[in-house]
Amino acid sequence: MATQINKEVFSQLRQELGRERGNPVSRQAVYQRIARLREDDGTLSKEQAAYVLAYDNGINLADYLSAEECADIRDIVSKRASPPARASQKPADRNRKGHGNSGGVTIHLPKLKVHDPFLPKRLAEECKRMTEFYPYIYLFENSLRVFVQKVMEGKFGSDWWSSDHVPVAVNRKVNRRRESHAANVWHSSSNAHEIYYTDIKDLKKIMQTNRGLFQPFFKKLPDKLEWLTTKMGHIELHRNILAHSNPLDRGNCTELKHYFEQWQRQLKKIAAEIDAGGS
C-alpha cells in the first residue's frame, strides 16, 4: 500500500462528500472522516481508511490505484461486510469432531442440497442471503454489455470491436481471456463476442472513450454519463466482494437493488430512443 493518499482520490473525496451542499468539503473535513474510520478500526492506516471512505462514497478506486492496492481495499471492505464470529461460542463446540464447526452444516438451496463437514452455520446462512443478490449483479453487467454493443454497432457496424474505438488496454485484456478460454476447451465456449469477456470497468472505459455516443442517452440527468458510470463503480465493488465469496452487508444490498432498479427505469427510456433511431 502506498505511503501517501492518492491526490486524485483525495480530490474526488472532497467532491463526493460535498455533493449535497454543492461545494467540495475542506481538506480538514476529509481528514476528520478518515480519523473517525481509524477510530472505529484501529488496524487501518491513514491511506487505507481514505480508500475505504472513497469506496463507501462510490469512487471507483480502479481508476486511480494499482491492482494490488485495489485488492488490498477489497479485502478490507469484505472483512468489514462479514459479521464477526460469535464470541460466546463454547470451546467444546469449536472442537467438536476436530473441525471447529460443530460437525458442519447442511445447505438447502433450490435444486441443491449438500452437507459440508467444515462450513460453519454462519457461512451457510450468508450463502442463502447472497443467492438473492447475485442475479442483480449478473443482469446488470450483461445489460450493460448489450447496451454498449447496440450503441457501438449502431454507429460503427458489426465489426466495431476491431475498430479504433475500443481502448487498447481493454482489447489486449479481452484477447488474453479469449486465448485462455480457447486453450481450455473443456470449459465454456470461446466463441462469444468479445464484449462478454469484459469487466464492468472495461465497459466504463469504452463508454468514456466514446462519450459522444453515450452521453446523449443521459443528457437530461444532472450528471449526464457520470450518472451511470458512478453507479457502475459502486456495483463493481459489490460484484468483486461476491466474486471472492464474501457477503455484502445490508447497506450494500440495499444500494445494489436501488441502483439496479434505477438503471432498469433509465434503460426503458434508452431502449425507446434506440428503437426510434436516435437519441
Which tens digits make up the pLDDT trace of 115-130?
Answer: 878 778 888 888 888 8
Cell 488490498 found at: 72
For 165, half-sphere exposure in the C-beta direction (CA atoms, 13 angstrom radius) is: 20
Region 225-244 average pLDDT: 91
Domain residue extents for the chain: 7-81, 88-119, 134-275
Give me the pLDDT at residue 207, please: 97
Give me the pLDDT at residue 184, please: 65
pLDDT band at 250 (very low <50, low <70, confident <90, very high): confident
Task: State the Cα–Cα distance between residues 28 and 198, nearest whole angstrom.
Answer: 39
Region 33-62 average pLDDT: 86
Give me the pLDDT at residue 178, please: 85
Q: How many CB atoms lie within 10 A of CB 235?
A: 23
Q: Do 161 and 195 touch, CB atoms closer than 8 A?
A: yes
Q: Any idea which of 89-103, 109-123, 218-232 has the lowest mean pLDDT?
A: 89-103
Q: Tell me whether strands 105-109 and 112-116 are parallel, antiparallel or unpaired.
A: antiparallel
Mean pLDDT of the chain: 83
- Choice between 111 and 172, residue whose per-residue pLDDT is larger: 172
* Alpha-carbon distance values, 117 to 74, 85, 88, 105, 113 (Å): 28, 18, 22, 6, 13
Task: State the Cα–Cα distance between residues 91 and 138, nearest whole angstrom.
Answer: 41
Q: Which of 58-62, 74-78, 82-86, 157-161 has the highest mean pLDDT?
A: 157-161
Which tens digits make up the pLDDT trace of 234-243?
Answer: 999 999 888 8
Question: 42 in helix, strand or coil?
Answer: coil
Q: Any idea which of 176-190, 193-207, 219-233 has the lowest mean pLDDT?
A: 176-190
Instruction: Please enumerate in sequence order all residues whose Cβ is within 8 A of that of 277, keeping only pairs 6 or more positions apart, or say none.
Output: none
pLDDT band at 31 (very low <50, low <70, confident <90, very high): very high
Give me the pLDDT at residue 18, please: 83
Length of the chain equals: 279
pLDDT band at 148 (very low <50, low <70, confident <90, very high): very high
Give me the pLDDT at residue 86, please: 40
